[in-house]
Amino acid sequence: MPIRVRKLIGTFALLILIGTWTILAMAFAYTVVLDNPIFAAVYYVVAGIGWVLPAMPLISWMLRPDPERP
């Protein structure tokens, strides 16, 4: 698969990942009432950075070089 197609697919997949992650993080924060401001701040930092871990394999797949053709 050419790198341009992988980047296109990966871009849409990243948008879906970030949108889903955001909705789930907000829903979880809403259900677990965050009364303590310190706990809330820690939660939002972890939730805000947490989407990077599932995105790393996707980004490395997107940037993999094209195989050489004989």
As averages over each run of 10 residues, the pLDDT of the chain (70 residues) reads: 90 95 90 80 90 92 80
Tell me whether residue 37 is in a domain. yes
pLDDT recorded at residue 2? 85
Tell me whether residue 26 is in a domain. yes
Tell me whether residue 69 is in a domain. no
Both structure tokens of 26: 């907000």
Cα 70 to Cα 68: distance, rounded to the nearest angstrom? 7
Q: Domain of 13?
A: 3-62
Count of domains for the chain: 1
Given its phi and psi angles, is residue 69 left (phi above 0), alpha (psi -120 to 50 degrees) or beta? beta
Tell me whether residue 42 is in a domain. yes
User: Is 56 strand, coil or helix?
Assistant: helix
The DSSP 8-state label assigned to residue 36 in this structure reads S
